[in-house]
Amino acid sequence: MIPPVLRKALLLGLVASRASAESVPAPEPELPTGSAVVVGERPAAARSAFCSPKRPVCAHGNDGAAALRALAALEDAYEKLVFGLGLPPPRTDEGRGGTDALDAYVTAPGTPFTADTDAPARGLFSSASAFCRLPLDEPPLLLRSAVLCLGEAIAVGLDASEAPFTRRAFATSLWWLVGAPTVLDLEAIDAVQRAPELAIGAGDVDTRSEGAALFFSYLEQALGAGEPGELSTSLVSAAASPYPRGASYDNEPDTFDVLRHTVDGRFGFARLMSDFAVSRAFLGDREDGQHLPLLAWAGSFGRARFDWVIPFSSLPRRVSIRPAIDSTGSVLVWLDLDRVPERAALGFQAEWEAPVSFHWQLVRVGEHGEELGRIPVVFEDRSTLVEATVGHLAGTRAVLAVGTNLETVALDHPFDPDVRPFEPHGLTVYFAAL
């Protein structure tokens, strides 16, 4: 029987991305195609192991009371994700922790949450079970870690080849759907928004992994047509890759390949990533109700860093963007219309290093910070320079120039999160009063 999430993916045509020559180009032999197959080492057996009589979850610890607290959080997380959102349950671990249930090993409060994978299960596609180290923090942090544990276990069961960075972002996005934001979520969003020039997809878990959940949140809003979390889970499921034959996974297709296929290729993907960059520019207390209103709780922590803030009265100006922009990273330049002559217009030009492509949009911003409209700049796949004009500046408080780097390796090989290190590219932006 096909799980509901995978059936949804099939209906959407996402799995067809495996056969799409445009979405999954033949990789160069010298380029990596996936992370190393790493099998986590389970902690030594604890004195207390409590398993739920209702849900396939177990908590292990040397303190029985602590293990019971962790077990209650795991049961709650299971009910929220599997029964509440209708997501598939984690893969059984075939008795590695003493039972077939998902195992969480209780650690001291304040220690980092981690999720590890077991050896890939034999089959056509890469799939594995998982286990977690669960810090015994106070609620709601304990429940947050429990949801991350379930979320990562679900993801690795659907596609063990997906990068750990993406799995953590996916699991965090599920927490934002079913839980209450915590200080850790504010810190996570701040880490990503302070560095919009960095890639939104990466390899290993780092300080930005959880904040990258805002990309899944955006995809749910922009492309989702079903229940909350269904689109994100379908993407992970549809990106399932073949069973690994060596020391590394063959993560082809990855979630970005699936996205390209879903939005009709590279030009649709370019617009999707550009629209995402605009949305993150309005995140948090800049939210105007048109972009990511469900993440307005981020407040000032959601503010994206602008590369430049330029007064109109200082034009003409040409500025260099530093640091350089990674693939799927963005540049944000705020042009403040402090003194605008009557009937004035605005000229814009951006020029960047070959061979990557940038997609640009100019956003008119009103007196109260609301988006008034956009001037899409024509996207040319092999260009390194664009120009545009903005007229009718009356009633406009600022113009926000947003550019997104779409490629790293070569023009015929779209962004692949497994090909690292990424290659950031420099650029300049020019404004003139017309």
Residues 347, 118: Cα–Cα separation, whole Å: 56
Give pLDDT tens digits for 258-311. 999 999 888 899 999 999 999 999 999 999 999 999 999 999 999 999 999 999
What are the tens digits of pLDDT across the range 319-349? 999 999 999 999 999 999 998 888 899 999 9
Q: Which of 133, 160, 187 is the last residue of a domain?
A: 160
Q: Is 403 within a domain?
A: yes
Q: From the CB of residue 339, how many other CB atoms can be counted at a distance below 10 Å?
A: 10
pLDDT confidence of residue 312:
96
The token pair that represents 34 in the structure block: 């996936």
pLDDT tens track for 104-140: 999 999 999 999 999 999 999 999 999 999 999 999 9
pLDDT classification of 411: cutoffs 50, 70, 90: low
pLDDT band at 29 (very low <50, low <70, confident <90, very high): low
| Pairing assessment for the beta strands 308-311 and 330-336 based on DSSP bridges | parallel
% pLDDT > 90, the chain: 75
128, 119 Cβ separation under 8 angstroms: yes
Residue 15 has pLDDT above 50, yes or no: no
Tell me: the pLDDT tens digits for 170-184?
999 999 999 999 999
Out of 96, 131, 160, pick the residue that ends a domain.
160
Separation of alpha carbons 178 and 161, rounded Å: 26
Backbone angles phi, psi at 49, to 5 degrees: -135, 115
Q: Which of 17-26, 133-142, 155-164, 193-202 has the lowest mean pLDDT?
A: 17-26
Q: Please check the confidence at residue 410 and state whether its pLDDT lies above 80.
A: no
Q: Range of 57's domain?
A: 38-160
Q: Is residue 105 part of a domain?
A: yes
Half-sphere exposure of 296 (CA within 13 A, CB side): 9
Place of tokens 């009709």: 264
Quickly list H helices, 13-139: 64-78
Q: 142 in a domain, yes or no?
A: yes
Model confidence at 12: pLDDT above 80: no
138 is a domain residue: yes
Give the C-alpha distances (Å, rounded to integers) separating 136 from 45, 107, 149, 173: 18, 6, 13, 21
DSSP state of 7: H
Residue 262 lies in a domain: no
Position 409 scores a pLDDT of 54
pLDDT higher than threshold 80 for residue 7: no
**Can you give 215-235 as a three-state secondary structure string?**
HHHHHHHHHCCCCCCHHHHHH
> Looking at residue 382, what is its pLDDT?
79
User: Is 74 in contact with 55 (CB distance < 8 Å)?
Assistant: yes
**What pLDDT score does 292 carry?**
96
Evaluate whether residue 399 is within a structural domain.
Answer: yes
Token digits of residue 346: 């605005």
What gap in Å lies between CA 422 and CA 434, rounded to an integer?
38
Q: What percent of the chain has pLDDT over 70?
A: 91
**Pair of tokens at residue 301:** 């922590």
Task: Please compute the mean of the pLDDT values over residues 243-255 and round it to a whole number.
Answer: 89
Residue 242: count other Cβ atoms within 10 Å of its Cβ: 15
Question: Which of 18-27, 55-64, 83-92 has the lowest average pLDDT?
Answer: 18-27
Q: Where does a domain end: 123, 141, 160? A: 160
Whole-angstrom Cα distance, residue 433 to residue 411? 34
CATH classification at residue 321: 2.60.120.380
Q: Using 50, 70 and 90 to split pLDDT, how confident is the model at 25?
A: low
Mean pLDDT across the chain, nearest whole number? 90
**Residue 281 located in a structural domain:** no
Which residues have CB under 8 Å from 133's CB, separation 6+? 43, 104, 105, 107, 111, 112, 113, 114, 115, 116
Residue 295 lies in a domain: no
Radius of gyration over every alpha carbon of the chain, rounded to an integer in angstroms: 23
Total tally of structural domains belonging to the chain: 2
